[in-house]
């Protein structure tokens, strides 16, 4: 799948089949994540891969929009390492770039996923921090549950020329 096709046809997926996601595929997704740009090339991201169903089942207890997570085959928590960021707060766009690469790469491989936010919600970040035993300098940004989708959603053109401003507002 070419890049523009991946961008235009990717949709958030919350319903997954039971088909396993291989370790090789997960590694490829992580390689795609780490190919994303970062501020001053600091690569301030860290990733936690979760396959354990018991761990996945606990996430909805502290995240109100995570009811779909226990049904995924694997999830990747995208985190920022505040000790590595170029400037305070740069872990957020660094991790966001990595997360988008994961979602696009997953789609190109026939997988589906959805960005499920932790940061900046204190209750969510505290919950995942405790569950995964994250050190203080590791900030959880999002979790991306992944699996093979059970349904295919149609493309929707979201381009809105009224949102585009040239030269000045």
The domains located in the chain, with CATH, are: 3-7+15-150 (3.40.109.10)
Helices 23-33, 91-108: crossing angle, 10 deg rounding: 140
From CA 81, how far away is CA 75, in angstroms rounded?
A: 19
pLDDT in tens, the chain (169 residues): 899 999 999 999 999 999 999 999 999 999 999 999 999 999 999 999 999 999 999 999 999 999 999 999 999 999 999 999 889 999 999 999 999 999 999 999 999 999 999 999 999 999 999 999 999 999 999 999 999 999 888 888 999 999 999 999 9
From CA 72, how far away is CA 27, in angstroms rounded?
A: 17
Residue 24's CB: how many other CB atoms inside 10 A?
8
């Amino acid at each position: 799948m070419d890049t523009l096709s991946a961008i235009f046809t990717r949709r958030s997926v919350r319903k997954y089949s039971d088909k396993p996601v291989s370790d090789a595929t997960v590694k490829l997704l992580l390689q795609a994540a780490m190919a994303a740009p970062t501020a001053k090339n600091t690569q301030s991201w860290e990733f936690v891969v979760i396959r354990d169903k018991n761990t996945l089942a606990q996430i909805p207890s502290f995240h109100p929009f995570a009811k779909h997570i226990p049904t995924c085959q694997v999830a990747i928590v995208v985190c920022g390492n505040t000790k590595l960021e170029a400037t305070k707060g740069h872990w957020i766009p660094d991790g966001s770039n990595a997360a988008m690469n994961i979602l696009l790469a997953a789609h190109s491989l026939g997988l589906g996923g959805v960005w499920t936010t932790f940061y900046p919600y204190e209750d969510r970040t505290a919950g995942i921090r405790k569950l995964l035993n994250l050190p203080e300098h590791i900030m959880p940004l999002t979790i991306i549950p992944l699996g093979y989708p059970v349904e295919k959603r149609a493309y929707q053109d979201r381009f809105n020329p009224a949102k585009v401003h040239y030269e000045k507002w």
